[in-house]
Structure 1
């Protein structure tokens, strides 16, 4: 295995977006917009917070990253590629016949903790992992990334009640609040109001930040973990669906639209220009 760039430049958002674009183009597949909205979130987690002893994706003492919004998995694949966990061949043959890499998170791939895509369930798996770490008296942390549309699902709130009741202060949910879900704007499908207030009312310590500001993300994550509160943590990240490519930004057609030669070249150029 090899990393795609030098270690000092790893997890640079423009590089991660380029990898996502190349994967989506090679596989003629979808879900680009919802991968782009979590690029900075994942970059900060993999660069500064997730612990993998010996850089091993399935090491016993690792922190857990549960991508509950499993359709954004190309963004996580891009980070796994930077860590050297995926090969050039795997990335270049994404979604091809016989490829191990699917369009949704698949726990059979080392580095992906859950099989997700049936929305609402990964959150509760993450809560279970956090409880298990508590029972084993380890210092492992669990992060669960969910979409704002995903929190329409009842299991999210059942899991939130459970996490607060058991004082799972080793659990952090990160909400990708990009304002859209598959069938439209979240405000039109089911208005959410203040997501921060909702999690606070369920017993979480919660904060809202710009989900594309890497320094703000890093500081907010560190501050939540440094808090002496026994409450679970909620980070509400205000993001832009399709971030980094102007014709994709806040354009929900890019939830299901495939790249062609022209749009791939234009998107790659836009990502490079914004680097």
Structure 2
């Protein structure tokens, strides 16, 4: 299994013009999860990584190019995530390859991505793949994350590496259920250092979380280097352990890079997937 620095990230890459599933680079989730206290007993969350592919194209049987959007759902229980540049290279390998139908493309995506993210699992599962045809493009909506906007707060910020000590909950007050949002999440790629911009939604039940401290904590990721999925799991675990809510949901929508956006979602309790609706910055 390759390490992040052995992935295609930050390296010159030739673009394959014929379908090549070997371009996919799976990376193990376990090492980064161990850093945040998730061990053999498993994580206190379920969820998924919701991908959108905006640059999907192939040839039909007569050689005419076809285009579509794709929504990909990768369960967070998979032992691996997919390194995003390898995903881009893989999708580009469809460009000059003929497929009999969109259904064949969908089936190929589901098989290849499933094999990559479930690599090494004793009982491999599947991934969700939905293709959106051009006649459905007008139905794709843009909507900001619902909730109380933390960015309204006039705070001082001095810390730009994750600082969980900024998080505090008022356990002497009556429990609440609320949804809080911010557009100020920024982290950097673990390998290249390039900026990753995101919007964050936190829903919880329990002792009221101090909102100023929470916003300062979100801002503290500004110079942190970690993949999208890893940042969201770090945020979840910091809130879970320091604020001790009875229920917690953390959802981030990151702006796209290379025709892909990644939107990790983690929740302490089984629930319906969030709507796969992009924000204005996506």
TM-score by shorter chain over 0.5: no
Higher helix share: 1
TM-score with structure 1 length normalisation? 0.29
Higher strand share: 2
Larger radius of gyration: 2
TM-score with structure 2 length normalisation? 0.28
